[in-house]
Each structure stands twice: as structure tokens, then as C-alpha cells.
Chains A and B, each alone.
Chain A
């Protein structure tokens, strides 16, 4: 196969700091080339250099064998290199068609030609195997559909190289599977696909070759044949990762601390009931949009909801998070950047925000005590920060999650609800977070883990409750935990059939 895009000894420095050093990468037509590495390994920087968002400090790019420099992402696009961003970058109030053609509207006599754009949108989306209505506003689409629209937008221009940056971060396994179909289709058309991820099972499923980065250096490039996820993890982290999940603590008791009966969150959840026991890790599985997040936001008073919530034999109703916290229940949002941390504020302010009452000296804040708590948190949670004065937004995803955990643990809760504990977190940090969750249960706290990663639910939880369409579809005991069991409850169909159905109506 011929090489389309070749990077030769690429280095990138920001000031005196080298984040990439001497990376070479050869991208061939009709292959899916995965780039894996922990957060901060340099994947995104490499991606941004290849797609013209950043110029390399040293080294050269070759396109079809000719040396080339891109003046910017638009220039790279003009050469057929497109990047599908990790974040959803769409205007929520515009329709699908308007978003697809935003900035490159089809015009007729100087006016936008909505009809033509709508038709073109429909045909592109159909190629991607979906029939999203082109006139639908993006704000009314599910996250997965938004992702598809974003992909469609990237594929609108003629492309030789398509780069996906963590495309499945917000997708459920079934939605991810239909994305892989799209990727395979692209490959069959002779497009070179660059695929960045740290979900190794996906990489195994979709990639032809894998390049591993660690600390800005090239570690290995291997064919996927014979390269198992465990070996990938070892290459990424530089140590043996065979024990990702800790032993499940044997503290799950019969002592019920929280009972929820007939909980309803208007528009999202109906008739949800479950119990939570002391010392156990209770998983909540289901597809995105099944109402898991909304159920718990309703319970802790972050959304209007009604139902019977019994905490230690006492009926409670929380009107806001403050009341839930006072009762010993904390909820850690899946949306760390939007709802968990103040990205523009420093670590100290973030750490103490929820438990500010504990840092009072009279009516004033004791900054010294806050600093001490930060020292402690950095140590206890292994928050890796190059400076204490950093803003929360400057931390990597894994360290943000650790900071969020530290922040909520200051409240000394008895019940901890963690929504997508390892989303956007690299594998080394994942292991730390799992160990921490297990230790919470071992201390006798009750822990709820909401997760879309089935492996995580299976590896971590004592029991798993699965939701479907706003209702509790069923519960799986530890002995019966399997991906198939979760998928069955989440979709109502067995796994082999599920992918087909998802492809049909996604």
C-alpha cells in the first residue's frame, strides 16, 4: 500500500518544553491506523500537527511523497486531511443541514439554497447509515447523533485522510459499533483513517496498525495481528496492566442504607426503584439517554423529581444538592468540565467549594487550612500537577477526576454516586480510580457507579442495575454479570441482534 501522509521525525515544543520528540508515522491509503497512549502522551498534539492546527517545531510532513507544510487547518482540509473533533462543535440552535454547511453554504443567486443543502445532507447521512432529519435542530439530537452529524460535516469535503479524535468517548458500545462500520466503509474506499483512542478493545476491533506513544515518544508501531489489548496497555503505561480492576471488597452487607421507590423525573425517568446497601458498589448500566444520570440527579435534588426516597428508615426529599450533601450523599457529575469543576479557578478554590463550611474561621475562610487540605488531596489522590497555582482547566482529564473526587470526599459522605468515573481518563489513572472506589466500599460507604463501559461495571460492581428508556429494566447479581446480560437488559435484545438493530435506526 502506498503512503498518503508521512510524518518524519516530528518534534513539538512549547517554549522550552518538548511534548513530542522525534515521532515518525506512516499513514497508508486504505488502512486504519490507531494512535494510542495515555493522556498527555502527545496523541492530540500529533493529531493537531497532522491536521494543520499546529506547525511542528522540527521534522517534516510528506503528502503523497511530497514535502508539505500546512498554513492552518483550512489548508490541510484543502489537501484532503480532515479532523473529526472529540468535542461536539456544532451550533445547537441551527438545523442539521445548516450545521453541515455552516461556513460553506451552497448558494444560488446569492441566496442560500436550503433545498440543495437539505438533499445533500440527507444523502450524506444515508451513506453513514442513518436517517437523521436534516431539518431537526441539533439541540434536539442525542449525543450520538450529534457525533454522526459532526462526522458527516468532516466528510463533506473531499478527503484522503480522516482523523478521529476519541470518537467513542460519548458513545455506547452499540453506537460505537455503527461508527466502526463507517470507518470500515471509509477504509474500503481507500481513505487513510487515523484513529486516536485509549479504549483498547475498540482499537483491537477496528485498527489495522497501532502506534503507541508514551511521554511524547514513539514506543512502537505494530500490526494489530497478534497484538492484544493487554499488551497495548503495557506498551502505553510501561508496566504490566493485567490487574486493572482491584479485588471486589467483601464488605457488601445486607444493611440497606438507601431505598428508592417509584422515582419519577418528568421527561426522563418513570417508576424507578432500587436499593443500595452499605459497603457495596452498585453499578448502573444502560444506553446513553436511558435516564441513569437524570434518575440520580432527581434523587439528590438537582432536578425536579418525585418518588419515595428512604435513607436509613427515614423518608427524605432533597430540594437541592446542598440538602443531599448534608444528609451524606454526594453526586459526582459525568460532566466534569461543565458541572464538576470551575475550570477558570485554581485547585484550592475548586477543592474546598462544596465543603467551604469546614474551612471557616468565624465567618471568614481559613486559607491556610485550605492550602493544607490541598496538600493532603494532592498526596492522597495522587493529583499530578506541575504547579499548585494551575487552573483546574489546565489539568488532564484523569487529574480533574481525582480533584473532583477529592473535592467531594471533603464532605465525608456515606453514599457516593459517581457518574462515568473514568470518562476521558487514561488507563493508568483508571486503575487508581478503581482502587479508590473499591476502598470507599471497603470503608463501609455505599457507592453507585454509573457507567457506559460494560467492562467497568463487570470488573468493579457487586450488582448492576440496568436502565432502558427511563425505566429499570432489571438487575444482575455478581455471579451473572456479563456483557451479554447487560446488553440484553439495556436494549431488550441479545448482543448479536443489537448491533444490527442499532445500525437500522441509529
Chain B
């Protein structure tokens, strides 16, 4: 075979792959320029920090979703799971009754543990039940959602202890060196996520599983364990997102976390992760989540489109992102 030369073709392909990784960052820059042109208030530090802070929950959830999707799975239950975790966490805090750090810590741990448990449930049903993840998480989405409605008796679950609320409030509203805690939380989660996905054997196994399950199995990858773990990671990420989210409003309602799954999956796809698995981009996901919030922000700051149509625009973005992915894929 004429294997000796052909350098140009390889370079071309490399360039195409880079395009896939770069495109979310390019989109981000374009959006920032557009925002700056539309409204001078856009490019202020306070507005941008606000945007990133607001994107934190989705970003954290989406980091988890990156694992699930890169591994060839899907989790539709994250929004309902967030609502359930928020509800259970607040009820736990209310029942403990204290206003001290210890109480708060127990509540936070309970949230993370419940997230991990929900993820474990999803993972076990998908692996041992051998059911499509779409169906499994569609089912648990309904279960989690109605559990929180039931716990709240159709109303709102609110943190009752005033001291605890004051103690907890800074987790969303506070900052260190001018950087809000939620941003720090999401950067830390993303950094850990990137480390796990790119540098550990587990991360490599996730990508292998998403690329081709049979090859993974024939290569001795413990596929059940790896797949279940991706869902557990997703659950833990939802738990962490809830920790940051609850102090914002101090309550959970039946509509908490509504359509978060759409936003999380959108963020992942915008970020360049392949929806069919095999390619995972943690930093792309983070940028994707920020892009979603930026679009909403620009819509609010401009008067072109009603802000009530944010959901429609985000829905359109996921479709466009898929089209872009496909054309990049074809181009090589």
C-alpha cells in the first residue's frame, strides 16, 4: 500500500477533529461579540459573572451527562432527580431542626448520597435489565418527579430554619476574590470530570464502551461496572448541582428542575460530545452550558425575541449543534 507519503490527508483530518473540539469555543466568542454589540451592559463583569453563575447547575449536571453520553447512554431523569434531591434535602434539614454547620453538612451529604443512589438505580436497571437507557430514565424521570410532588403534597417544600438559611445562603450568593462560589464549584467539578475522563483507565473505558460495546467486552472492559458508574457519576453531579441550587430560592417545588435534562443534553452536544457515544468533551460541555445561559441573557438584554421563547431558542440550538456536528463529521 502507498503508506509512505500522504501527509496532507492526515493533516486535513486532524484539522477537522480540532474543528469539532474548537467549534463550541468559537461559538462562545461569536456570542460574546454579538452580545457586546447588542447591549453595552452585556460586557460588564457583573453581568458576565451573573451569567456564568446561573449556568452553574446545568454545567455541573452536564459534566455528569458527558460521562453517560460518552459511554453510549442517556439520562433523561436528571431534572426530576434534581427536584427530588432538593425536596428530600430540605425535608431532611427541616426534620433535623438545627441551625448549625453540622446539620447542614448532614443535609448536603444526604443530597449527594441520594444522587448517587438515584444514579445507581438508573445504572442497574439499564445494565442488568438490559433496557434502553432512554426508556429507563424516561420511567425514573416520571417516578422522581411524582415523588417530589407527593412529598410536597403538590405545594412547595421550604427551608424553615431561618439561621440555617442564612448559613447556607452564601453557597449561592457568596464569592471569594470576586468569584461566586457556584462558579468555583462548577470549575472544580469540571476539572475533576476532565481528569477522570481523560486521564484514568475508567475514563478510557467509558469512551471505549461508547465507541463500541462489543469491542470493549472483547477487550476485557468490565462494561457493567463502567456503565453503572457513569450513571452514579451523573447522580452525584446532580446532587452537587442541587447543593448550589437550593440556597438560591431555599425551596423545592414540583416545577424545580423542569427541562433541565434538555438543557444538560444540549450543553453536552453543543460541547462536541457525540450523542452516540465514543467522544466526550468535558470542557466543551462547560462552554455549552455557558452558551445556553448567554443566549438567554442576550435575549433578555435585547428586544428582538421575547424572553418567553428562551426554551424554543435552546431547543433550536441543540438541533443546530447536531447539524454542525454532522457536517464536521462528513467533512473529513
Cβ–Cβ contact B10 & A216, under 8 A: no
| Chain A CB within 8 A of B211 CB | yes
A392 to B153, CA, bound (A): 56
Given contacts A321-B218, A345-B211, A364-B200, contact A215 B278 (CB under 8 A): no
* A109 on the B face (CB < 8 A): no
Cα distance A407–B207 when bound, in Å?
A: 17
* Other A-B pairs beyond A356-B204, A360-B201, A386-B3, 11, CB < 8 Å: A17-B5, A17-B9, A215-B1, A215-B2, A339-B218, A340-B215, A342-B208, A364-B200, A386-B9, A389-B13, A390-B10
- Top 6 nearest A-B pairs (CB, nearest first) are A40-B1, A322-B220, A387-B10, A354-B219, A342-B211, A321-B220
Quick check: is B45 within 8 A (CB to CB) of the other chain? no
Contact residues in A for B204 (Cβ distance below 8 Å): 349, 352-353, 356, 365
Known: A353-B221, A357-B201. A19 touches B2 (CB 8 A): yes
Contacts of B2 in A (CB 8 A): 17, 19, 40, 215-216
**Residue from the set B13, B208, B214, B215 with the largest chain A CB neighbour count within 10 Å:** B215
* Dominant SS among interface residues on chain B: helix
Which positions 329-350 of chain A face chain B at CB distance < 8 Å?
A: 331, 333, 335, 338-345, 349
A267 lies within 8 A of chain B by Cβ: no
Produce 1/0 per residue, A350-381, CB < 8 A to B. 00111011011001110000000000000000
A-contacting residues, B196-234, CB 8 Å: 199-201, 204-205, 207-208, 211-212, 214-222
Chain B residues in the interface with A (C-beta under 8 A): 1-10, 12-14, 195, 199-201, 204-205, 207-208, 211-212, 214-222, 278-279
Known: A384-B3, A386-B7. A320 touches B207 (CB 8 A): no
Q: Name the B residues within 8 Å of A19 (CB-CB).
A: 2
Contact: B207 with A349, CB < 8 Å?
yes
Measured in the bound complex, the distance between the Cα atoms of B7 and A322 in whole Å is: 38
The verdict on A320 contacting B199 (CB below 8 Å), with A216-B2, A345-B278 known, is no
- Total contacting residues, chain A, CB less than 8 A: 47
Interface majority SS on A: helix, strand, loop or mixed? Answer: loop
Taking a contact as CB atoms closer than 8 A, the residue among B201, B220, B222 that contacts A365 in the complex is B201
Give every chain B residue within 8 A of A342 (Cβ-Cβ).
208, 211-212, 215, 278
With both beta carbons as reference points, the residue of chain B lying nearest to A354 in the complex is identified as: B219
Q: How many contacting A-B pairs (Cβ < 8 A)?
A: 109
Q: Write the nearest CB–CB distance from B16 to chain A, whole angstroms.
A: 11
Scoring A41, A360, A386 by chain B CB atoms within 10 A of each residue's CB, the highest score goes to: A386
A353 to B1, CA, bound (A): 27
CB distance A341 to B215 under 8 Å?
A: yes
Q: Name the distance in Å between A383's Cβ and chain B's nearest Cβ.
A: 10
- A454 interfacial by beta-carbon distance below 8 Å: no
Residues of B within 8 A of A387 (CB): 6-7, 10
Contact with B along A294-323 (1 / 0, CB 8 A): 000000001000000000000000001110
**A333: which B residues are within 8 A, CB to CB?**
218
Q: Which residue of A lies closest to B220 (CB)?
A: A322
Residues of B within 8 A of A16 (CB): 8
Assembly CA distance A106 to B212 (angstroms): 38
Q: Is A325 at the interface (CB under 8 A from chain B)? A: yes
Shortest CB distance B128–A (Å):
14
The reply to whether B212 and A353 contact each other, CB–CB distance below 8 Å, is no
Enumerate chain A residues within 8 angstroms of B201, measured Cβ to Cβ. 356-357, 359-360, 363, 365
Please, how many angstroms separate the alpha-carbon atoms of A320 and B219 in the complex? 10
Task: Say yes or no: B207 contacts A338, CB within 8 Å.
Answer: no
Contact A331–B7 (Cβ < 8 Å): no
B277 (CB) vs chain A CBs: closest residue: A344
CA distance A320 to B13 in the complex (A): 36
Distance A110 CA – B81 CA, assembled complex (angstroms): 50
Q: Which listed residue, B3, B9, B12, B217, touches A321 by the CB 8 Å rule?
A: B217
Shortest CB-to-CB span from A321 to chain B, Å, is 4
How far, in whole Å, are A39 and B5 apart by their CA atoms in the complex? 17
Tell me whether A386 and B10 are in contact (CB under 8 A).
yes
Residue among B12, B207, B218 making CB contact with A302, cutoff 8 Å: B218
Cβ of A14 within 8 Å of any chain B Cβ, yes or no, is yes
A331 to B199, CA, bound (A): 27
A226 CB to nearest chain B CB (Å)? 29
Q: Please, which residue of chain A has its CB at the minimum distance from the CB of B201?
A: A356
| Chain B residues near A259 (CB-CB < 8 A) | none
With A40-B1, A365-B204, A386-B5 known as contacts, the answer to whether A338 contacts B212 (CB < 8 A) is: yes
- Contact check: which of A15, A320, A349 meets B220 at CB < 8 Å? A320
Tell me if A24 is interfacial: C-beta within 8 Å of chain B.
no
C-alpha spacing A364/B216, complex, angstroms: 19
Complex contacts, B10 vs chain A, CB 8 Å: 386-387, 389-390
Cβ–Cβ contact A39 & B1, under 8 A: yes
- How many whole Å from B134's CB to the nearest CB in chain A? 19
